Amino acid sequence: MIRKILQIPAAEVLPSRGAVMGGQGIPRWTTPNGKISQLADDALSLYGEKARPAGILMEIPRDEFGTVFQGRGSNEEESPVGPIYRASDRLALFAVTVGEAVCAEISRLFRHNDFALGSMLDSAASEGTEMAARAVEDFYRTHLRDTGMLDSLGGTLCFSPGYCGWHISAQEALFNALRPGEIGIALNESFLMQPLKSISGVIVAGRKEIFDFEDTFSFCRDCRTHSCRDRISSLLEQ
């Protein structure tokens, strides 16, 4: 089973200006003034200088992942993650971060009351972290296809504790299994990661149809983005 640490070039997970401004609630179809555009460019420059993206990936047998998924037993009774992972072909735990330096720079800017640039850099780092997670998922999907373990009828999708009814306390079991301290990620008593700009979870590989669920669960009402819709649609169209 594969276990790999990935050093991800910052240039490969550099967000677009539009994505950074989108994180600030500025629609892509608007034309922001020069000052806002310059702030976004400055934030991207800082991100490129400070970010040190890295990821770790480890395959895990389905029965062992069941223990990770269960965590402290606080999951919602009906979480789509349960049926999806049980119907999967392969599973891999993962964690990614863009590093502590960029998080420290965000904090420094806020301490010095440079809220505009600090907020833009926060958006850049958040988007960059999401891109790093997609890069690790892409690596795993390519690995499976290159080794004949995933055909055109199959796909991959990531899930993280804290979402889709998977309680955030499962981070504890996930960290115990994955050991992402090797790339500088730690877990605090509230199950939040340090550096803050980090993502962890599981990459599920299997037939595309297992991922097609409706966002009608009770906890879906509390989701602000419903980003699963776009990810599932993209997967089914591949």
Is the pLDDT reported for residue 197 higher than 90?
A: yes
For 111-169, write each residue's pLDDT tens digit: 999 999 999 999 999 999 999 999 999 999 999 999 999 999 999 999 999 999 999 99
Supply the DSSP symbol for 186: E
What is d(CA 42, CA 46) in angstroms, rounded to the nearest whole number? Answer: 6
Lowest mean pLDDT among 26-35, 95-104, 207-216, 223-232: 26-35
- The pTM of this model reads 0.95
Specify the residue for token string 């509390």: 222
For 45-74, write each residue's pLDDT tens digit: 999 999 999 999 999 999 999 999 999 999
Contact 183, 5 (CB under 8 A): yes
Residue 34: its pLDDT value, please?
A: 82
Q: What is the mean pLDDT of residues 187-192?
A: 95
What is d(CA 32, CA 55) in angstroms, rounded to the nearest whole number? Answer: 34
Is the pLDDT reported for residue 84 higher than 80?
A: yes
Largest interatomic CA distance in the chain: 54
Is the pLDDT reported for residue 3 higher than 90?
A: yes
Is the pLDDT reported for residue 20 higher than 80?
A: yes
Contact 32, 21 (CB under 8 A): yes
- In this structure, which amino acid lies at residue 148? G
Overall CATH class of domain 3-237: alpha beta
What is d(CA 39, CA 123) in angstroms, rounded to the nearest whole number? Answer: 12
Contact 156, 208 (CB under 8 A): no
Is the pLDDT reported for residue 32 higher than 80?
A: no
What is d(CA 6, CA 104) in angstroms, rounded to the nearest whole number? Answer: 22
Contact 156, 203 (CB under 8 A): yes
Residue 227: its pLDDT value, please?
A: 85
Is the pLDDT reported for residue 33 higher than 90?
A: no
What percent of the chain stands above pLDDT 70?
100
Tell me the Cα Rg of the chain: 18
Residue 28: its pLDDT value, please?
A: 78
Residue 189: its pLDDT value, please?
A: 94
